[in-house]
Copies of this chain bind each other. A is one copy, B any other.
Amino acid sequence: MALVVIGGVAAGLSAATRARRLDPHLEIIVLEKGPAVSYGACGLPYLVEGRVREAGQLVVYTPEYFRKERRIDVRTGARVVAISHPRREVALESGGRVHYERLVVATGARCDTAGIAGADQSHVFTLHTLEDAERIRSFLRERRPRHAVVIGGGYIGVEAADALRRHGLRVTVLERSAHALLRDDARLTAAVQKQLEDHGVELRCGVPVRAIEPGRVAGVDCDLVVLAAGFRPNVELAAEAGVEIGRTGAIRIDDRMETSVRGIYAAGDCAEVTHLVTGRPTYIPLGTTANKCGRVAGANAAGGRERFPGVVGTSIVGIFGMAFATTGFSVEQARAERFSPVAARIEAPARPRYFGGTKTTVELVADRATRRLVGGSVIGEEGAAGRINVIAAALHSRLCVDEFEQLDLAYSPPFSPVWDPLLIAAQQLMKEL
């Protein structure tokens, strides 16, 4: 019995590792098209910035480690060009073929530059792999660019802008949609915009980019361009093998991470997941989800019976020392999902004022009919991750705001105020409902 995994970053290696743990005798082969596996892709902006000093720090394990310690055959530079499920084999670009009984597709996503003319110029970069980050670093060192344009105001875009600004460049972020961080949330976007502007970065929303001219983009002069838009799941291999693609454009899977084709599993940035607030499929490509889904895909591909219930859409991004954390839906998104959202937004100190606590902003969104929480956001310099995680746990448990208001949260002056901002927001939301 052989398990083949296509893709050797988050989901792929989680699948392989989990499969090995459940079945010590399984033959496991991981085929990674790039030169490195098992790296922390979310650390790439910090490699550009320099806070992560060298690429090696982001590499968690090497192919040698997997081979020796886990008996997993990890092959780099192994690009799969076709899946033939009737014959249970994949074809490599190099000409070889690899047989499988079970297949995990963890092909990830890409930055789709097809719609942008001039994306192939030498001063234009994506920030998706270790090599991308290394290339930007070299360019910064050798060419000393002064004006950067970042195309895309999602997580990677704003993190790249932060990193480039810290190198002293003038930075402009151009975002196609009306909102930053991929979240239809006017107040969040305004807060992101203000934080960027306070640190010398301009964010322009509603600016689609169709071409990169040699020295300018959408009227902005620049000598460095980072493309952080057009994130697309890599579904072509799977689709050509007959695997069903969902409405979101990513691979459709069940709660065991199996695709519509028996024996083929999918996980990570190429696949959908269930949104636990709506119960419907969604596409939210994030490293945490990739790892969790990969584990479940690997377990089931190895003959186990595990479930991945879904996500609530939690994320966090740091912009010049301020955390912007979100989970579930904004008011605008909740309305689009056919809830009748009611929101409360408060500002309160993250710790007691006498202890020097800084201001934190909490927004909670509930559904008027059921009083159930459907989303929230936390913005602040301290404690934002912990607080958004409490809201995320509440979404998992389908808590009403009435229950949330009574949560027994930890209090001691060095850590939090006696009324946690989460509870103040809940009290405010109770008044609005």
Give A residues with C-beta under 8 Å from B: 10, 40, 42-43, 46, 51-52, 57-58, 155, 276, 286-289, 291-292, 308-309, 311-318, 323, 325, 327, 352, 354-355, 383-390, 392-397, 399, 403, 406-416, 418-420
Q: Which residues of chain B come closer than 8 Å to A389, judged between CB atoms?
A: 386-387, 389-390, 407, 409-410, 420
The 10 closest A-B pairs by CB, nearest first: A386-B386, A397-B397, A316-B410, A385-B415, A393-B393, A57-B354, A318-B414, A311-B408, A288-B411, A314-B408
| 7 CB < 8 A contacts A-B | A155-B412, A308-B406, A383-B385, A389-B420, A390-B390, A390-B392, A393-B399
Q: Nearest chain-B residue to A419 (Cβ)?
A: B291
Whole-angstrom distance between the alpha carbons of A277 and B378 in the complex?
28
CB contact between A288 and one of B317, B352, B409 (< 8 Å): that residue:
B409
CB contact between A10 and one of B308, B396, B413, B418 (< 8 Å): that residue:
B418
Quote the shortest CB–CB distance from A160 to chain B (angstroms): 14
Whole-angstrom distance between the alpha carbons of A287 and B418 in the complex?
7
A393–B387 touching, CB < 8 Å = no
Q: Is the interface of A mostly helix, strand, loop or mixed?
A: mixed
Q: Give this chain's copy count.
A: 2
B316–A412 touching, CB < 8 Å = yes
CB contact between A386 and one of B10, B57, B291, B383 (< 8 Å): that residue:
B383
A43–B318 touching, CB < 8 Å = no
B393–A407 touching, CB < 8 Å = yes
Q: Which of A309, A318, A385, A409 has the most B CB atoms < 10 Å from its CB?
A: A385
A385–B410 touching, CB < 8 Å = yes
CB contact between A418 and one of B42, B308, B388 (< 8 Å): that residue:
B42
Whole-angstrom distance between the alpha carbons of A47 and B10 in the complex?
48
Whole-angstrom distance between the alpha carbons of A396 and B426 in the complex?
16
CB contact between A411 and one of B52, B309, B316, B408 (< 8 Å): that residue:
B316
CB contact between A416 and one of B327, B385, B396, B410 (< 8 Å): that residue:
B385
Quote the shortest CB–CB distance from A93 to chain B (angstroms): 29
A40–B418 touching, CB < 8 Å = yes
Given contacts A393-B390, A410-B392, are A316 and B354 in contact (CB under 8 A)?
no
Whole-angstrom distance between the alpha carbons of A276 and B407 in the complex?
11
Given contacts A317-B412, A408-B312, A418-B287, are A46 and B393 in contact (CB under 8 A)?
no
Given contacts A393-B397, A418-B42, are A327 and B291 in contact (CB under 8 A)?
no
